[in-house]
Structure 1
Amino acid sequence: MTTKRALLIIDYTNDFVADDGALTLGKPAQAAEPTIINLANQFVERGDVVILPTDLHQQDDPYHPESNLFPPHNLKNTWGREFYGQLQPWYNEHQANPNVWEMDKTRYSSFAGTDLDLQLRARGITELHLTGVASDICLLHTAVNAYNLGYQLVIHPKATAGFSPENQEFALQHFQNAIGARIAD
């Protein structure tokens, strides 16, 4: 049976989620953890794909555009880049599964400069379920690219967080109204 769906858990790392993360979204992002883990388990049980696109930065990179916008975060080989909370042991348990993998990304969109589109098409995937952080930056840019590439989108609001409640609301409205994403219950 060909897999048609993939769950993307975007940037759910200590730097973005933990209280002392370098660029944390704090409690709203932490509240997404049970839903993310539940969705990941559901996808694995059905034999669907689970991908963890994860920001990767170098300390003091003068060529990266984010260096002037945000404090250093998700630096290679740091605690900040490890998955937050129960996602790290979940990933450790499932990483041998060929349908579960982490992928490095260096831009907001999980598609920019990666082979994500090729990997999805090779598996016949047409529907992407987006979770993680930040709904108003990395999820938003990933969703717009996915829309432009013809993927169907499902957004799980209980498994996402934005940098503010207003930004979260804007992102959810944009997903639904501008790119036709389905907002899951």
Structure 2
Amino acid sequence: MNPALILIDYTYDFVAPDGKLTAGAPAQAIDENLAAAIGETIEAGGMVFVVNDLHLENDGSHPETALFPPHNLLGSPGRAVYGKTAEKLRAYQTLENRQVFYMDKFRYSAFAGTALDILLRQNHIQKLELAGVCTDICVLHTAISAYNLGYEVTVHKNRVASFNAEGHKWALEHFKSSLGFTVV
């Protein structure tokens, strides 16, 4: 089977100018690239996994509560996929389409506490492309999990973004030099 596209946290709260924890212009700049990647993946017979952060309001037990303002809250519009990327996903949302999967995550890594690894293995997928935000937080932690689980990973520089330019640059280098991933 073709590689899977793992789209991480490309939501209103992380991308929109008025998002609760926005990566701002860098995240908005990758919108068309992500929409194109979804189309390319689906048209090639691949699968897209949309994995989004989920938080509960006033959750004092979650470690992110002390680090970041409330974001991607259950039931909030901030959890919606952003922009042209959302439009492209809607174009493929039919009952017959078994190529797009949505799942919630409660930690940085898209693998932590989710069925992602099971679904990938069930569909004989070993090659992944990671895309979305933030390069140096959730994309990075997902990359490390993918490495530890033995997946072959590609990251396109124009399909990831962060609110931290230095962190973004560092993570891209880490993907290449420490994880051995392909960075395009």
TM-score normalised to structure 2 length: 0.96
Q: Residue type of the partner of 1:111?
A: F
Point out the more displaced range, 87-96 or 60-69: 87-96
Task: Give the TM-score normalised by structure 1.
Answer: 0.96
Alpha-carbon offset, residue 90 of structure 1: 1.9
CA drift at 1:9: 0.9
CA distance in 2: counterparts of 1:90 and 1:136, whole angstroms: 25
What stretches of structure 2 of length at least 5 have no aligned partner?
Answer: none
Partner of 1:141: 141
Residue 113 of structure 1 is matched in structure 2 by 113
Measure the CA separation in 2 of the matches of 1:7 and 1:65. Answer: 28
Question: Identity of counterpart residues, as a percentage?
Answer: 46
Aligned-partner SS, 1:86:
helix
- 1:176, distance to aligned residue in structure 2 (A): 0.5
- Alignment pair present for 1:5 and 2:18: no
Separation (CA, whole Å) in 2 of partners of 1:91 and 1:115:
20
**Aligned mates of 2:162, 2:136 — CA distance in 1:** 5
Count the aligned residue pairs. Answer: 182
The alpha-carbon deviation at position 89 of structure 1 amounts to 2.1
Secondary structure at the counterpart of residue 179 of structure 1: coil
Q: Whole-Å Cα distance in 2 between the matches of residues 60 and 88 of structure 1?
A: 28
CA RMSD of aligned residues (A): 0.9
Show the counterpart of 1:81: 79
3-state secondary structure, aligned to 2:103 = strand
Counterpart secondary structure, 1:156: strand
Residues 47 and 99 in structure 2, CA contact (< 8 A), matched pair in contact too: yes
